[in-house]
A = this chain, B = another copy of it.
């Protein structure tokens, strides 16, 4: 049930003694995270979030979800950044046809996308979940305005009250004011958890529960992760090993980390990971550049460069031990494609061989790589993985000497944009 980490293909690039040599730094990083004594400690609410979540809230949100699904064909989730990626990543990863469809809005300003969404909503019964700490982030604020126009054509003010749920600040901000004035239901975003760490707060849990996700399992996985990955034991804690290895590879000039999974449903988990890692580490002129591929698809696009290009890359594979389905490859009498050698095998077995071959070939080509293995593609293991990555980036952020919990750089374009908008 634990996440496994295979580091055999770091050999020659990074020795175990080098990891052991920074054991004291790793221990300090863990203590500073657990005791909330490090840089950016105002935003360390995520470290013990899983164990602090009240089971009563989980039950309440599960009931809320049942109510919402009774009167809604679909859900519109309005949010951007951390108020979008965790939700999208979870739903895409689980890809469960019994979930109520979730449409996203306010995560871009593509007019054609938004136009088509609004047209589509005109014929549907839907519930809107608006997720914004301030209520003044441009994309979700404008999307909320546009969607309310569609709702006004369909629903009474009373009905709109039932169909709008706000996830926002507990006391202040435009969305809080709107919700209080209009009587919309609200759920609170804690002050000490930043957007990119918020998937297990109401930011993620409210829309996921409404879609029908087993949020109890997701939280339980994160609880297991919290217990395991808060440990300071370098020999057993795979999260510490991963964090230390990537930090040391970076110091040796491996400035790009390629996260590579062999499952198409992992695509948005990688997008979530890219925000978490890029926004936490990419500052003060430092930070690993996070990139992602879905294999074997992208072996036929980025594979050449991975094998033979600039040697400034390391790779982290993600593997899932058990698939949800089985697909046996049929035998063919004429065997023109010469694949009867795998007839009778499960397709997943072939996929696993592709992973083994790729890890070894890239290693021999000069790309050090690790493999993270999850037990199963379900909510529990995803919750565990979320915590694994959150903890890991807290550790490498401290090793890098940055504040992993702020994002001062995102204000630069906003200031210029507000000036152009006349705001």
A310 to B282, Cβ gap below 8 A?
A: yes
* A128 at interface, CB cutoff 8 A: no
Contacts A142-B350, A308-B285 known; A410 to B174 CB distance under 8 Å? no
Most-contacted residue by chain B among A284, A301, A421 (CB, 10 A): A301
Give 7 A-B contacts (CB < 8 Å), ordered by A residue: A80-B296, A108-B294, A112-B324, A300-B410, A307-B412, A353-B420, A358-B417
- Contact flags (1/0) for A338-374 with B, using CB distance below 8 Å? 1101100011101101101110111011000000000
B264 to A110, Cβ gap below 8 A?
A: yes
A112 to B263, Cβ gap below 8 A?
A: yes
Name the B residues within 8 Å of A70 (CB-CB): none
* A197 at interface, CB cutoff 8 A: no
Most-contacted residue by chain B among A175, A304, A342, A417 (CB, 10 A): A304
Name the B residues within 8 Å of A356 (CB-CB): 416-417, 420
* A305 at interface, CB cutoff 8 A: yes
B304 to A265, Cβ gap below 8 A?
A: no
Name the B residues within 8 Å of A263 (CB-CB): 108, 110, 112-113
Name the B residues within 8 Å of A351 (CB-CB): 109-111
Partner of A109, one of B265, B309, B347, B408: B347
Partner of A255, one of B95, B312, B339, B420: B312
* A177 at interface, CB cutoff 8 A: yes
Partner of A409, one of B95, B136, B142, B308: B308
CA distance A309 to B138 in the complex (A): 24
A297 to B353, Cβ gap below 8 A?
A: no
Name the B residues within 8 Å of A95 (CB-CB): 112, 116
* A23 at interface, CB cutoff 8 A: no
Q: Which residues of A contact B (CB under 8 A)?
A: 80-82, 84-85, 95, 97, 107-116, 118, 135-136, 138-139, 141-142, 144-146, 148-149, 174-175, 177-178, 181, 195-196, 255-256, 262-265, 271, 274-275, 278-279, 281-287, 289-291, 294-297, 299-313, 323-327, 329-330, 332, 334, 336-339, 341-342, 346-348, 350-351, 353-354, 356-358, 360-362, 364-365, 377, 407-410, 412-417, 419-423
Name the B residues within 8 Å of A283 (CB-CB): 304-305, 308-309
Contacts A136-B338, A310-B285 known; A354 to B255 CB distance under 8 Å? no
CA distance A419 to B279 in the complex (A): 41
Nearest CB in chain B to that of A365: its residue: B412
CA distance A352 to B410 in the complex (A): 18
CA distance A177 to B334 in the complex (A): 11
CA distance A271 to B292 in the complex (A): 11
Contacts A108-B264, A142-B342, A337-B136 known; A278 to B297 CB distance under 8 Å? no
B109 to A301, Cβ gap below 8 A?
A: no
Name the B residues within 8 Å of A413 (CB-CB): 299, 303, 307, 354, 357-358, 360-362
Name the B residues within 8 Å of A365 (CB-CB): 409, 412
CA distance A227 to B177 in the complex (A): 58
Name the B residues within 8 Å of A307 (CB-CB): 409-410, 412-413
Name the B residues within 8 Å of A82 (CB-CB): 300
CA distance A255 to B181 in the complex (A): 51
B297 to A309, Cβ gap below 8 A?
A: no
Nearest CB in chain B to that of A338: its residue: B136
B84 to A297, Cβ gap below 8 A?
A: yes
Name the B residues within 8 Å of A360 (CB-CB): 413, 416
Besides A283-B308, A287-B310, A307-B409, 4 more A-B contacts (Cβ < 8 Å) are A82-B300, A115-B325, A303-B410, A342-B421
Nearest CB in chain B to that of A144: its residue: B337
